[in-house]
Each structure stands twice: as structure tokens, then as C-alpha cells.
Chains A and B, each alone.
Chain A
């Protein structure tokens, strides 16, 4: 799929996400807008997945470690055909399968239950190890938030991935510079990420996380360095696509009022793709 087609899909997903957050009266819209281009590229360009057989043994694995942006993943999964599109309107409703964080038991296409931060990368290391032990060629992808990298468990996994030479593992850091309460730089500033990951033995690439061409290229198998796990530091904007949310710390899990919803939707409708 070409970049302009991916941009169209991402725009559709952003609009559905905005509507769902508005209707549900809750969600994590800022981080969803920042991660949607990465998710779209993974699911519509890079990964082999099988919506009719979600547990196909040769599927590529994906973990949304920043599980609070589950809504964006649910919409992607519905667009891919893992779950019905109508189900999105049940988001956060009583007894919905779509709670605020992904659940593998309830939602086809989800690999593991995330929510508490710093869990996805260790599990991804185990997945990549399993593929190596099996001699399988499927790849493992995991997306963490940049604030999430403050969790020490990530660094345990970063050490292990390099030690085990997991070149079938790709970590994407959604580097939108904001965490729930403040800017990452003003909280516990881990940036720049690249030299830290490189020092731990990873192959690191920095990209614009909203440029579909750059995302596609960075994720391609040709860009794998043998025997090294790969980290893509994706520079993104929290609230990407909606001007008054973009790079604004107050939009971590704020819910738009009617006026804000209409303004945001109008911007997404007018977006040049």
C-alpha cells in the first residue's frame, strides 16, 4: 500500500477515534492521535496478519505497550476485519469487550493484555525468542510511549534483547514528548533515546512518526541489522491532526465538548492527504 493510501486510512481512523472518544466521554485522545500513523503503517503495510485466523502461527506479533491508547488499536482491528466495525460504538460501555486497555481474551487480534506500563517489551522479547527457537520468520513489533520508557522493566528487556541478538524484534518509541502530567523533559528526561539504545547494543533509527514513507522504510526487512534488535524513535506529536490538541499536555485524556468535537472533525475532514 502506498503512502497516500495509508494517509487516507489514518485519517479515517482519526475521525472514528475522535467520534468514539466524544461519544464515550472518555479515552486517551492525545496519545491515540500520535500513534495512529504508526499503527496504520504496521497493519496496512508491514505486518502479515490473518483476520480470519487471528492466532495463525506465522502471524507477525504486535503489542501496544502503551495500552491506554487501546481505542486506536480497536479501530485498526475493526478496519482490518478482526472485529465488527459496529463494535467500536460499544467502547467503554457496560460489558463491552472494548475496555480502556486491550484484552487478548476478549478481542481478536490482541496478543497480550496491556495497561500497566513497561510490560510490552519484555513480552515482545519472549515472542521474538520463541520465533528464533522455532526457526520461524515472523517478526515482533512493540510500541511504547516515551514517558513509558521511565519504567525500569523496559531496560531489563532492552538488555536481554541485545544479549539474545533478537534482530526479529522492533521497538517503536512513540516520542511525542508529553506524558500524562507534564512534558517528559520536565519530568524524567530520557531523551535523547538513540544514544542510550545504541549503548545497549541496539540498532537505532530516528524518523518522523507521521511521515508514512519514512515509517514504511524504517519498518522494512531490508533495514534490519543482523543480530541486533531494532529501535525506531518515532518523533510524533500528541494530538496530531487536531490543531488545538497538538503538543498540548492537557489533552492526554481530556474529552472534547461539542464545539471542540466539531472543530476537530472539521480539521480532520479538511486535512490535505
Chain B
């Protein structure tokens, strides 16, 4: 039998992003979008029709794109710098470091089709190192919303936040998971399901799979806590330590390499403060083979069934 999260309607978070950006641009002419020829893949076509002067397409030139964003912020604009996540972060990493993070420029970086979203296109197009790269930089929050509700909340927050941030959006369909009136708070995770035996922490498209895994575990008599942790930096250490002390085991799931992402960040907090058994699921330090995003997530042990199994195996390590 399928669980409730397997049968509900799925949404592309990019739609929620552009809809919200257009709303914000209607009421504040400081809001501008900057892109790298990616009007289609970032779904900025309607934005361009409504605000032709405020859609700045620099062409296929990511280093310039990020620098232009920093300059626009200096001139009083609120630039949302949008591009496919692997190129925005990988190609322009030094600009993100020097022009945005170190300069504390009010630039909103939006990495679209992040993670394994471009599955079949190959590892050049996978963005599974971006958490690690950007969370190593001071001053710049790293945020991966889980559904369209959280995406809307994060975009609204980003517009009002006085400083840089990196928002990581997928194109893989996900259902509504967060409460309809969710308000995003920087560094605050959301407990989507109470549980006592084990905690699963995830973000982005993995939170959907995690919720299904929790239903599977419940059917096996296991009480699993689910925490959606959109902020890879700053981390909600309080929620992590609550999970450690109250459930005694933490499983992390992410659409990212296991080297340096959400799981690593959580492990740092756990090891420093309250060591408990942990298991980190993700792409295990390899270039992924050919296949769709959903195929690859299954392949790397992140089907709901596999996540549930990993949680059970982890629980055996509890004292």
C-alpha cells in the first residue's frame, strides 16, 4: 500500500520561486534578476515579460554574473542571481567568496536544478558539492527548501534579509510538506514528525523521501522523528542536540556528496557536543552514473525503503 506522501500531487519548486519573485518585484522595484542565458531553465520568462529592464541576462558568463550581482547590490538593488547550480557555484566560486561573502554584498544566489536534478546529463551537471563549497565561507547562509511552501517562505525572507545568501532549488517534483502558513526563520529547523527511537534529518528533495520512510518505519513499529533542516549554515544545533539526546541516533539524507554537506555539518555538532550513533546517506564520494535524479537517489540508498532500512540498522548501534 502506498503511503500518503506517495500519492499526493507533486510540484516543481522553481514555479514557486518565480511566482514569489514576481510578487516581490511588483511591490519593490529594487528587486532584479540576473541570469546567465538561463531564462528558460530558471523559468524567468514571465519575469522578463513583466519587468524587461529588471531581468539582466549577462549571457554565458557566470563569473561576470556574480560580480554584476555584487555591483547591483552596491547600487541599492536586491539582485537574485540565478543559474544552474553547478555552474553558478563551481565556475564563480571565487566571486562568491570575494565579491559576495567577504564583501558582505546583499546578493541572493539562487542555484537552480541543484543536486542530481540534471541526472542523465552527467556529473558535469550535478551540483552535489555546493553545500560543502559554500558552507565553508563565512557570512553566507546556505539554504535548501524542501517544498514549494518553504521555497516561497525562503524567497520572501531572502528579499528582506540584509546580506548574502545561497538558495538551492531542485526541479524534482515534491509534495507540500510544511504547514501552509510556514514562516522561514534563519537557522531554525522544522520538526515535521515527532518520534523517539531515531531521528532522520534531511532537506531539499530528500525530505519527501524521509517522510515516506518514517511512515514505513511506523508500520514496523518504530517511532521516527523527522527534522527538515533547510539551513546547512547556520545550523540549528539545538534541534540536532535534542535529536541526539532524545532519540539517541541520527540518520542524515541529502542530495549531495557525503564529503562536507549537511550530514558532515550535523556530525560536527554531534561529535563536539553529544556523540551518538550516526549514519550519513548521500552520494558516497563518486561521480554518479547515468540516470534520472530519482533513479540515482534510489541507487545511492535513498529510496524511502532503503532510508527506513538504514534507520533500523543504525538503531542497532544504540547502547
Contact = CB atoms under 8 A, between A and B. Distances in A.
Contacts of A156: 58-59, 61, 63-64
Interface string B260-301: 000000000000000000000000000000000000000000
Secondary structure call for the B interface: helix
B95 A157 contact: no
B68 A126 contact: yes
Interface stretch (B98-106, B187-195, B239-247, B307-315): B98-106
B61 A160 contact: yes
Contact of B75 (A104, A130, A152, A160): A130
A84 B68 CA distance: 31
A123 B63 contact: no
Contacts of B76: 57, 130, 134
Nearest to A114: B98
Contacts of A129: 56, 68, 71-72, 75
Nearest to A151: B63
A124 B64 CA distance: 10
Interface string B50-77: 0001101011010110111111111111
B252 to A, nearest CB: 34
B74 A125 contact: no
Interface in B9-58: 32, 53-54, 56, 58
Interface residues of B, number: 30
Nearest to A127: B71
B162 interface: no
Interface residues of A, number: 36
Interface string B66-97: 11111111111101000000000000001100
* Chain A interface mostly: helix
B33 to A, nearest CB: 12
B70 A123 contact: yes
Contacts of A118: 63
Nearest to B103: A113
B103 A130 contact: no
Contacts of A127: 71-72, 74-75
B31 to A, nearest CB: 11
Contact of B61 (A113, A123, A140, A159): A159
10 contacts: A104-B104, A112-B99, A113-B103, A119-B94, A122-B63, A122-B68, A140-B71, A153-B67, A156-B61, A156-B64
Interface of B: 32, 53-54, 56, 58-59, 61, 63-64, 66-77, 79, 94-95, 98-99, 102-105
Interface of A: 57, 61, 103-105, 111-116, 118-119, 121-131, 133-134, 136, 140, 152-153, 156-157, 159-160, 163-164
Given A122-B95, A127-B71, 9 more contacts: A61-B74, A116-B98, A122-B70, A123-B67, A126-B67, A129-B68, A130-B74, A156-B63, A159-B59
